[in-house]
Amino acid sequence: MRIPCPFCGERDLMEFAYHGDTEPRPDPTAADASQLFFDAVYLRDNPAGRHQELWYHAQGCRSWLVVTRDVRTHEVLGATLAKRGAA
Amino acid sequence: MAESLSSRPTFADETPAPPGSRVTIAERANLGLATLQARKGQDAALRDLIQQQYGVSLPQAPAISRAGTIAFVGLGPHHWLAVADGQSHHLAPSLKAAIGPLGSIVDQSGGYVVFRVGGAAIRDVLAKGFPIDLHERAFPPGAAATTVVAHIGAIIWRNDDHDGQPCFDIAVFRSLSRSFWRWFSDAAAEFGCEVKQH
């Protein structure tokens, strides 16, 4: 699998670290935080197809990326820099 | 003050070259190295200031820009490595004084070792360890990349050709420079490797 880093160009998977999908995590200070986390971890949607994921280019430009990937085929459909509010 | 790491050549006493070597390597001693990161929203102001003070246009891509004895390598968005001949630990304070609050500077003169490699067979050697394309078409003089070599984090940039042969600089963390050296010696052995003093 190769990821097209917007800064570095196309790079091998080994340069990146996976951080999960781009859905925001529940608020850990909420009153029903344990239920929210249960839902987020066990009851989340996991559609066959395109996912948006956070990857960190640890061995390259050290940018966080939002990568669109088809989890059925591992086809990478694009990557953009993750910026606050842009993901 | 103790002798600085960057002024003490680590790899000066290695075996001399066999005749007919097609690969060369030298450690660039006394090099001033510092990372520079633009503070939030200060990119344009920082670029203007570096242009005025040093006559260099900060690259906004993985590339190296040079003027005289100082160069800036684009490492990532808003992030550069400054490289200055002979300045060692004096580079970071002088950069800090020049740019003030527009960016953050960290001295890396003791943090990295920079090797200058070249020769007719150098691409064949580098291809054994770098996962990126260093061919003329993909990596012309002035190109740079932050990547790995033999699983060691590395910054590589291409200088102007030397004696008609390609010439690269490779920066690796000082603590891993011995591992890099071993890898390079093995990878270059089949072509004959000359260790030069820089």
- pLDDT, one tens digit per residue, over B66-75 is 999 999 999 9
**What mean pLDDT value characterizes chain B?**
92
Residues B83, B33: Cα–Cα separation, whole Å: 5
Residues B24 and B56 in one domain: no
Pick from A23-27, B64-68, B165-169: least confident: A23-27
pLDDT band at residue B12 using 50, 70 and 90 as cut-offs: low
Pick from A36-40, B3-7, B37-41: least confident: B3-7
For residue B92, is it within any domain? yes
Interface membership of B75 toward A (CB under 8 Å): yes
Residues B95 and B125 in one domain: no
Give the closest-approach CA distance of B58 to chain A in angstroms: 15
Residues B171 and B102 in one domain: no
Whether the pLDDT of residue A53 is over 80: the answer is yes
Whether the pLDDT of residue B170 is over 90: the answer is yes
Q: What is the pTM for the complete model shown?
A: 0.90
Whether the pLDDT of residue A87 is over 50: the answer is no
For residue B3, is it within any domain? no
pLDDT band at residue B172 using 50, 70 and 90 as cut-offs: very high
**List of chain A residues whose C-beta atoms are within 8 Å of the C-beta of residue B147:** 8, 11, 15, 59-60
Whether the pLDDT of residue A32 is over 60: the answer is yes
- pLDDT, one tens digit per residue, over B82-120 is 999 998 999 999 999 999 999 999 999 999 999 999 999
Interface membership of A81 toward B (CB under 8 Å): yes
Interface membership of B79 toward A (CB under 8 Å): yes
Q: Which of B37, B81, B132 should we substitute to test contact with A (largest number of A Cβ atoms within 10 Å)? A: B132
Residues B71 and B131 in one domain: no
**How much of chain B exceeds pLDDT 70, in percent?**
90
CA dihedral sign, ordered A60, B89, B43, B170: negative
CA dihedral sign, ordered B175, B178, B181, B186: negative
Q: What is the average per-residue pLDDT within B36-43?
A: 95
The CATH number of residue B70's host domain is 3.30.70.1520
Whether the pLDDT of residue B4 is over 60: the answer is yes
User: Which residue of chain B has the CA closest to A82?
Assistant: B77
Whether the pLDDT of residue A82 is over 60: the answer is yes
Domain end position, chosen among B59, B74, B107: B107
Q: Can you name the residues that pair with A70 across neighbouring β-strands?
A: A50, A75
| Residue A27 token pair | 């608020």
pLDDT band at residue A19 using 50, 70 and 90 as cut-offs: very high
| Assembly ipTM | 0.87
Residue A29: predicted pLDDT: 96
B139 Rama class: left (phi>0) / alpha (psi -120 to 50) / beta: beta
Residues B78 and B121 in one domain: no
For residue B4, is it within any domain? no
Q: Count how many domains chain B has.
A: 2
Residue A83: predicted pLDDT: 80
**List of chain B residues whose C-beta atoms are within 8 Å of the C-beta of residue A12:** 131
- Domain hosting B16: range is 9-29+111-195
Residue B10: predicted pLDDT: 65
For residue B2, is it within any domain? no
**Residue found under tokens 């925001």:** A24
C-alpha pair distances (Å), A2 with each of B33, B61, B129, B132, B146: 31, 19, 17, 11, 16
Whether the pLDDT of residue B198 is over 50: the answer is yes
Residue B197 vs residue B112, higher pLDDT: B112
**Contacts (Cβ under 8 Å, ≥6 apart) of A40:** A23, A25, A26
B101 Rama class: left (phi>0) / alpha (psi -120 to 50) / beta: alpha
Residues B75 and B137 in one domain: no
pLDDT band at residue B61 using 50, 70 and 90 as cut-offs: very high
| Helix extents (H) in chain B | 43-54, 91-99, 122-126, 177-188
Residue B1: predicted pLDDT: 46
Half-sphere exposure of B1 (CA within 13 A, CB side): 5
